[in-house]
Amino acid sequence: MTILDVLRTKRDGGELSDDQIRWFIRNYTDGTVADEQASALLMAILFRGMDGRELATWTDAMIDSGTRMDLSSLPRPTVDKHSTGGVGDKLSLPLCPLVAACGAAVPQLAGRGLGHTGGTLDKMESIPGWRADLSRHEYMAALRDVGAVICAAGDDLAPADRRMYALRDVTATVEAIPLIASSIMSKKIAEGTSALVLDVKFGSGAFMVEVGRARALAETMVALGEANGVRTTALLTDMNTPLGNTAGNALEVAESVEVLAGGGPPDVVELTIALAAAMCEVAGVDADPAAVLAGGGAMDSWRAMVAAQGGDPDAALPVASAVETVTLAEDGVVQVLDARKVGEAAWRLGAGRSRKEDPVDAAAGVVWRSRPGESVRKGDVILELHTSDASRIAPALEALEGAVVVGDAAPTPTPLVLERIG
């Protein structure tokens, strides 16, 4: 078998055999297949697609490129959650300790932000002392003792995906549904969880803007999870408006702590409880997440989770040295708060990165004072821009052009959770 045989098969619209797929994944992971050859195959997959058998074998081969973690020794049922990414999406922070307080173990291997969407590890690293890199012993100890962990994946977890993800990012093949689904699910299956809930977002601030494509992605990932023995369900959730009132790192941590303390923005609370309920259901845990949250159990788990990874839950969070406000030019009702524009502004302020190796400003981000449907007055502050580098404010303001639309009538309310799949 040669790489040219594999390339011609998919280029011409054929189905790759199981042997071809496993040969390619194995030889690309060890460097035998060059990046330019792999790029050609990824582009052929973008145009030609994959059927269910091909995708299942592709995902399985990516899992087999590394090690599969064994969590069977834990005394609790395991369940994880994955979000396809959005603006102000701090859900993992209150969600993991909440589900742990309900009685499950949440082994969340998270990532960093890239572009306009934030990363869970970047948010958590704004907590003084907190560490994303844990040894296998520390990881298992946290799951046993606390019931929740948020950390970086080890190098041995689906290494084929690590190489391929970077290649997709520079070859305009990121949006291929088979490649997205296999990337996400290979890592989630390899981490060893028994159950999984997917938060698949659609709208202006989501990776999948169109709800139809988001639904297709959700259905594909649910099928992959179930085929690999992982009880999987997905919620389709709206990301036309950013979640909560903040986008950034330390700003979102502070907002998450408000939720754990029994307050916080209603939309963050609603989606946290909806995801927690779904996670408890697929894990077989009989608990009422709303009652657990109200009773303070989730806050106790949060403090224990942060401390177990070296963080100080009582430490002051980073604060921006420069803050710029944006005021309204008219009275009316907020009709639109564009999630992508807000996310791009937060990125330009320093909260995100252009390349994986770029540093982030923990204090940077955007705060919004009003949401769609709320009445506002001329001169009201609608946005706050936070950064440690004042020179970033002008380009952030440019990104926010047209982000807020004010009119005479309130927009028609739309549900935060559109539907459940699986």
Query: Is residue 386 flagged as an active site residue?
Result: no
Query: Is residue 8 flagged as an active site residue?
Result: no
Of 65, 126, 182, 183, the catalytic one is 183
Query: Is residue 183 flagged as an active site residue?
Result: yes
CA dist 270 and 276 (Å) reads: 10
Query: Is residue 356 flagged as an active site residue?
Result: no
Of 80, 161, 199, 238, the catalytic one is 161
Of 10, 60, 81, 82, the catalytic one is 82
Q: Which two tokens stand for residue 304?
A: 């224990």
CA dist 60 and 158 (Å) reads: 10
Of 237, 210, 202, 307, the C-alpha closest to 81 is 237
3-state SS string for the chain: CCHHHHHHHHHCCCCCCHHHHHHHHHHHHCCCCCHHHHHHHHHHHHHHCCCHHHHHHHHHHHHHCCCCCCCCCCCCCECEEEECCCCCCCCHHHHHHHHHHHCCEEEEEECCCECCECCHHHHHCCCCCCCCCCCHHHHHHHHHHCCEEEEECCCCCCHHHHHHHHHHHCCCCCCCHHHHHHHHHHHHHHCCCCEEEEEEEECCCCCECCHHHHHHHHHHHHHHHHHCCCEEEEEEEECCCCCCCEEECHHHHHHHHHHHCCCCCHHHHHHHHHHHHHHHHHHCCCCCHHHHHHCCHHHHHHHHHHHHCCCCCCCCCCCCCEEEEEECCCCEEEEEECHHHHHHHHHHHHHCCCCCCCCCCCCCEEEECCCCCCEECCCCEEEEEEECCHHHHHHHHHHCCCCEEEECCCCCCCCCEEEEEC
The CA-atom distances, in angstroms, between 29 and each of 50, 187, 395 are: 20, 15, 39
Query: Is residue 187 flagged as an active site residue?
Result: yes
Of 168, 188, 340, 348, the catalytic one is 168
Of 187, 188, 340, 386, the catalytic one is 187
CA triplet 249, 395, 359: central angle to 5 degrees?
40
Q: Which two tokens stand for residue 182?
A: 């296999």
For 201, other C-beta atoms within 10 Å of its C-beta total 29
CA dist 299 and 8 (Å) reads: 55
Q: Which two tokens stand for residue 320?
A: 């921006």
Q: Which residues are catalytic?
A: 82, 161, 168, 183, 187
